[in-house]
């Protein structure tokens, strides 16, 4: 039995506007909802195999409002930690890397996750943010940004199943560290 129930939010859905890369010269394009769901799928397999309690917050492919995501999360077990998984974008296509956001109670968890995901590329550190889903959940919450799909080189990696698996593994290592230590 695990110490926590891990609430996995696979951020954004099919209809979320402007959450996709440009179509690159090789005719590929990353849709963030597909990327997020790929990472969460691999992470859920790892958690299941390790017998760590988890729930996928949004099993649907369609958009679920931020308020509905928060409502669903807040109905879960008190001993929960919320992780919202995302890809990132920026107007400057040279920007790349990995970062973890927290609101208040999630800072120590953000540090642990960033230690693991920051090893996959440029470590952009942790940031205190007021994203709706991490600000309004009752449990500690973090939001990970796992590469910039506005950066062609990073996006090419993000499109692969192997890299999505690596990102899931980094999240899994963060979860194991939290599960196995007193925090």
What's the pLDDT score for residue 63? Answer: 87
Which CATH number do you get for residue 56?
Answer: 3.40.630.40
For residue 78, pLDDT over 90 is answered with no
Confidence of residue 11 (pLDDT cuts 50, 70, 90): confident
Angle of helix 161-180 versus helix 107-117 axis, rounded to 10: 140
Q: Strand 98-102: give its sheet, edge to edge.
A: 54-56, 5-9, 80-88, 141-148, 98-102, 123-128
Structurally, the chain folds into a number of domains equal to: 1
Range of the domain at 73: 5-180
* For residues 43-65, average pLDDT: 95
What's the pLDDT score for residue 76? Answer: 87
What's the pLDDT score for residue 34? Answer: 96
DSSP string of 101-112, one letter each residue = EE-STTHHHHHH
Q: Residues 36-53: pLDDT tens digits?
A: 999 999 999 999 999 999
Q: Mean of the per-residue pLDDT values for the chain?
A: 95
What's the pLDDT score for residue 13? Answer: 84
Q: Residues 102-152: pLDDT tens digits?
A: 998 899 999 999 999 999 999 999 999 999 999 999 999 999 999 999 999
Q: Residues in the chain, how many?
A: 183
Q: Residues 155-164: pLDDT tens digits?
A: 999 999 999 9
For 156, list phi and psi in degrees, rounded to 5. Answer: -60, -40
CA–CA distance from 163 to each of 8, 156, 180 (Å)? 18, 10, 26
Instruction: Round to whole Å and give the CA distance between 150 and 56.
Output: 27
* For residues 1-19, average pLDDT: 91
């Amino acid at each position: 039995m695990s110490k926590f129930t891990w609430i996995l939010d696979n951020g954004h859905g099919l209809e979320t506007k402007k959450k996709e890369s440009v179509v690159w010269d090789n005719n590929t394009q990353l849709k963030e909802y597909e990327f997020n769901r790929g990472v969460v799928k691999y992470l859920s397999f790892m958690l299941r195999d390790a017998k760590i309690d988890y729930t996928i917050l949004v099993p649907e492919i369609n958009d679920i409002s931020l308020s509905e995501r928060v409502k669903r999360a807040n109905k879960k077990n008190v001993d929960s930690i919320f992780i919202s998984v995302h890809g990132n974008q920026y107007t400057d296509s040279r920007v790349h890397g990995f970062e973890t956001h927290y609101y208040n109670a999630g800072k120590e968890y953000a540090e642990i996750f960033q230690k693991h995901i920051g090893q996959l590329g440029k470590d952009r550190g942790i940031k205190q943010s007021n994203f709706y889903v991490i600000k309004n959940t009752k449990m500690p919450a973090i939001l990970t940004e796992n590469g910039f799909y506005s950066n062609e080189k990073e996006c090419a990696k993000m499109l692969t199943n192997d890299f999505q698996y690596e990102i899931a593994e980094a999240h899994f290592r963060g979860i194991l560290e939290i599960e196995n230590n007193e925090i």
